[in-house]
Amino acid sequence: MEVMISAQNVSKIFNSPNGRKVEALKNVSLDIKKHEFACIVGPSGCGKTTLLNILTGLLKPTIGEVLVNGCAAESINIKIGHMSQADSLLPWRTVLENVELGLEVRGMPKRERREIAQKLIERVGLKGFERSYPFELSGGMKKRVTVIRALAYGPEILFMDEPFGALDVQTRDMLEDDILKIWQETRKTIVFVTHDLAEAITLADRVILMTARPGTLKGEYHISLPRPRSAVETRFASQFVEIYKRIWKDLSSEVMKAREGNYESTEH
């Protein structure tokens, strides 16, 4: 299968104001294939978000390179969608206006962008809320708007950074089902960062495990659970439990290292 994203020997060192150097990532090499749903997991502070930001081109690596469709990641800006942990909806724009924002920026005529936005709104069950403002929506509804806004202009790749972390369990289950359905229909390439191993297994074709800081790749696990999947029902399957136990055995040791502060740092 065609490689969509390729990270080669990527390392990232941050310089703090007091002169201390913190090595966030160390020698990460990773390929993401076209149409793949890949989830990155690891202990807190292992550099998951740093790696995602480097893959998107928002952050430059200290060492190494990232190619997206053979081009330097930092030169790509219209082929990717990005969804962060933060609520990024514009409060002065309605649901419809938020969804069509990217299309408006790209100069699409109003009638065309409204048609695209309306179809996406209906697709995620928000028909009737087109003229609502963000403050009138629940947390889950806001996340649905954020997802379809990222999809509206047809990105080839969707990067998602713990997008559902702050939501209650029931709302997360519904949004995970939304993402599973959207992926099944569109086959977008998705790179999804999460601290929740169960979420990663439920969604992914492949789970990528990172070590405690400095983050590097510890293992990759191909998830053979059948598709289409249900966010809730999938977790009752015996195969799911077996996969969870296998990955958690490797993840738990890295969690302990992170808790104990057993990671490398460089000071000058």
Phi, psi (rounded to 5 degrees) for 72: -60, 135
Question: What is the structure's pLDDT at 74?
Answer: 65
Q: Among candidates 106, 83, 80, 104, which has minimal Cα distance to 94?
A: 104
Rounded-to-integer distance, Cα 34 and Cα 256, Å: 34
Fold of the domain spanning 3-79+156-267? Rossmann fold (3.40.50)
**What integer pLDDT is reported at residue 165 of this predicted model?**
79
Task: Domain ranges for the chain, please list them.
Answer: 3-79+156-267, 87-154
Q: From first to last of the 268 residues of the chain, give the pLDDT tens digit.
A: 799 999 999 999 998 888 889 999 999 999 999 999 999 999 999 999 999 999 998 899 999 999 988 877 765 555 788 898 877 899 999 999 999 998 998 899 999 999 999 999 998 999 999 999 999 999 999 999 999 999 898 889 999 999 887 788 899 999 999 999 999 999 999 999 999 999 999 999 999 999 999 999 999 999 999 999 999 999 999 999 999 999 999 999 999 988 887 544 443 3
Q: Are 54 and 263 in contact (CB under 8 A)?
A: no
Q: Sign (positive/negative) of CA torsion 102, 108, 111, 112?
A: negative
The pTM of the whole model exceeds 0.75:
yes
Q: Within a 10 A sphere around the Cβ of 120, how many other Cβ atoms?
A: 21
